[in-house]
Structure 1
Amino acid sequence: MSFLNELFGRKNPNLVMQPLYNAVIAEGRRPDWYEKGAVPDSLDGRFDMIAAILCAVLIRLDQSDEARQEIAWLTELFVTDMEGQLRQIGIGDLIVGKRVGDMMSALGGRLGAYGEALSGNTGLADALVRNLYRGEAPEQSALDFTTTGFKDFYEHLVGMTTDQIISGNIAKASS
């Protein structure tokens, strides 16, 4: 099948998007978010942070008409990964679909909230408290760290080309 894909010019979505997805996961697991930003270092906290980073990437890619297919592929990788994570922690087949549906619904809501906040229509700190911290605001210094870091990360993405982002080289140099 790989030979036919190459012959007919089709890209393997897993090969194309895996580097970017791995970079999203790496950024979402960066210790500073949990240590300085007080994101809960729990299963839910890690999901929330990875979802936030994924949202920033998806919002940026959505600004490029040529990235529509890659957005779909990246989202599919997220779904596949989350399904695998649920199965790995022992969630049964009957519940996995519902939980993945709940996660996708949460991702959709966060895309809207973060999109509005990053475009300046609403407060980013408020969106982070609602979605990343699940309504429990951390100390102000932690919230300031996360708000500034998230905004800086997004602005870093805005300064990149779509091809650079898709290649997975999204890590921002530490300041």
Structure 2
Amino acid sequence: MLWPFNHFRKPQIPLPGTIEAIYGMIVTQAREPLFYRDLGVPDTVDGRFDLLVLHLWMVLRRLRPVEGGAALCQALFDRFCEDMDANLREMGVGDLTVPKRMQAFGEAFYGRSAAYDLAIADSREALAQALCKNILDGGQIENARRLAYYAEAATSALAGLDDVKVQRASWRFPSPARVGVQQ
């Protein structure tokens, strides 16, 4: 007789190619020029970081409930951290300073994620306010509303995908040109 000791099995580790594909899609979308040109996201290191965090948050939010989602989320977050570490070193940040900066990145990610989770559960206006504060430096509320509309459309598109498509990186973010202009 076989005993169902599933909790003794090794957790499923996501395929590295899947993590690279998903993270690549997040980075590519966060670099979309329309965010910077038409939606007022500052084309700075901070602006690019904040847009990357927004897209990572949306994907992690979708992946959490799928089977094996915890491992996939962790691997994706780890890939984000590796990327941030590499970027710091490429910018010439010294080895002694990197851990402090990485801690700041982690705190920023978790703070923004918590704010976005609360806001999206409340209303589009609450999400716009959170995006305005975190991405648009507290100004440009109209652009923040357009960005909130985009974030809602992207999270809705992700929610509409079946789990296998999400896990295999067989999807795309919506174009900000199509959804970011609505009110």
| Matches for 1:75-94 after TM superposition, within 5 Å | 75-94=77-96
Given candidates 35, 38, 50, the residue that maps to 1:36 is 38
Shift of the alpha carbon at 1:30?
1.0
Instruction: Identify the residue that residue 72 of structure 1 maps to in structure 2.
Output: 74
The alignment status of 1:124 with 2:93, answered yes or no, reads: no
- Cα contact 2:11–2:71 (8 A) shared by 1: no
Determine the C-alpha separation between the residues in 1 that align with 2:67 and 2:11: 20
* 2:174 paired with 1:143: no
Could you tell me how far 1:11 is from its partner in structure 2? Answer: 4.7
CA distance in 2, matches of 1:68, 1:173: 25
1:84-123 equivalent positions in 2, closer than 5 A: 84-120=86-122, 123=126
Is this contact kept in 2: 1:36–1:145, CA < 8 A? no
Shift of the alpha carbon at 1:109? 0.8
What SS does the aligned partner of 1:39 have? coil
- Are the aligned partners of 2:13 and 2:71 in contact in 1 as well (CA < 8 Å)? no
Distance 1:87 1:118, change over 3 A: same
Amino acid at match of 1:162: D
Give, in angstroms, the shift of residue 165 of structure 1.
1.9
What are the ranges of 5 or more consecutive residues in structure 1 without an aligned counterpart? 1-7
TM-score of the aligned structures, taking structure 2 as reference length: 0.82
Contact 1:56 1:114 in 2 (8 A): no
Is the 8 Å Cα contact of residues 67 and 162 (structure 1) preserved in structure 2? no
Amino acid at match of 1:123: A
Aligned position for 1:5: none
Q: Please state whether the residue corresponding to 2:68 is helix, strand or coil.
A: helix
- Structure of greater relative contact order (alpha carbons < 8 Å, 6+ residues apart): 1
Residues in 2 aligned to 1:129 and 1:92: alpha-carbon distance in whole angstroms: 32
TM-score, structure 1 normalization? 0.86
Deviation at 1:65, TM superposition (A): 4.7
Residues in 1 aligned to 2:22 and 2:60: alpha-carbon distance in whole angstroms: 11
Unpaired runs of 5+ residues, structure 2, are 1-9, 179-183
Aligned equivalents of 1:38, 1:128: Cα separation in 2 = 11
Cα distance in 2 for residues equivalent to 1:157 and 1:70: 15
Number of matched residues?
Answer: 166
* Counterpart-to-counterpart distance in 2, 1:15 and 1:43: 27
